[in-house]
């Protein structure tokens, strides 16, 4: 529990609270999801943002997306980013995710990278489904993002397993942690960043 207390806001570490949150996760629509505000201890969120901004982002383009990404943070030279990687790969964090989502994930089996959406960047509808990905997680580290700025995470409803229409939108607010279960119907997108603000996040998948 020690490593969790170092990073995660105390209010999310109560077992009873986590049990309630698991209900919310399971009842999440259009597929299992939940977001938690003020997720990390404020000081940790701040140093993580600074460290991430100091890392190298490589711009990527395809038919589906336009954004920048770091390499997997397992190999980061930054002590802070490495310690965050160790935290996310810990047995304690895997146990936390199991309590939050009910999904069993293996400690140390993960992908973790930083992402940066500048003005005009976007990610169109896809499902994230790749063999062995169980849970996707994202921690938003952008400052002052509002709905009109774009960049929201969009959960997409499905009809007979095909994406049908846009559902709930999650604004990438500061220190907001979002988790969803990866499945054949976990269709989602990231709205185009319409602002001049940088949409910064760190996340990946747990296996």
Q: Which residues are near other proteins by CB under 8 A?
A: 62-64, 66, 119-120, 122, 124-126, 150, 156, 162-166, 187, 189, 192, 194
Is residue 152 within 8 A of residue 190, CB to CB? The reply is yes
Nearer to other proteins, 76 or 115 (CB): 115
Q: Least separation, in Å, of the C-beta of 163 and other proteins?
A: 4
Q: Least separation, in Å, of the C-beta of 63 and other proteins?
A: 4
Nearer to other proteins, 95 or 166 (CB): 166
Is residue 142 within 8 A of residue 178, CB to CB? The reply is no
- Residues 201 and 170: their CA atoms lie apart, in Å, by 13
Looking only at the bridges linking them, the beta strands covering 135-140 and 199-206 are: antiparallel
Find, among 40, 34, 52, the residue nearest to 11 by Cα: 40
Q: Least separation, in Å, of the C-beta of 26 and other proteins?
A: 25
Burial of 88 (0-12, 13-18, 19+ CB in 10 A): buried
Q: Least separation, in Å, of the C-beta of 160 and other proteins?
A: 13
Nearer to other proteins, 26 or 124 (CB): 124
Nearer to other proteins, 13 or 154 (CB): 154
């Amino acid at each position: 529990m020690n490593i969790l207390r170092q990073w995660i806001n105390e209010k999310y570490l109560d077992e009873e609270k986590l049990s309630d949150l698991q209900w919310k996760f399971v009842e999440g629509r259009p597929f299992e999801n939940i977001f938690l505000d003020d997720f990390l201890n404020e000081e940790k969120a701040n140093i993580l943002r600074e460290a991430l901004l100091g890392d190298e982002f490589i711009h990527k383009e395809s038919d589906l997306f336009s954004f920048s990404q770091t390499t997997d943070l397992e190999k980061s030279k930054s002590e802070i980013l490495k310690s965050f990687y160790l935290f996310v790969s810990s047995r304690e964090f895997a146990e936390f995710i199991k309590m939050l989502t009910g999904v069993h994930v293996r400690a140390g089996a993960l992908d973790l990278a930083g992402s940066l959406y500048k003005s005009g960047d976007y990610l169109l509808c896809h499902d994230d489904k790749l063999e062995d990905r169980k849970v996707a997680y994202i921690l938003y580290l952008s400052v002052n993002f509002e709905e009109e700025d774009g960049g929201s995470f969009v959960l997409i409803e499905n009809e007979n397993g095909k994406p049908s229409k846009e559902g709930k939108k999650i604004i990438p607010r500061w220190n907001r942690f979002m988790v969803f279960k990866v499945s054949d119907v976990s269709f989602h997108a990231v709205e185009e960043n319409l602002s001049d603000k940088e949409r910064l996040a760190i996340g990946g998948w747990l296996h």
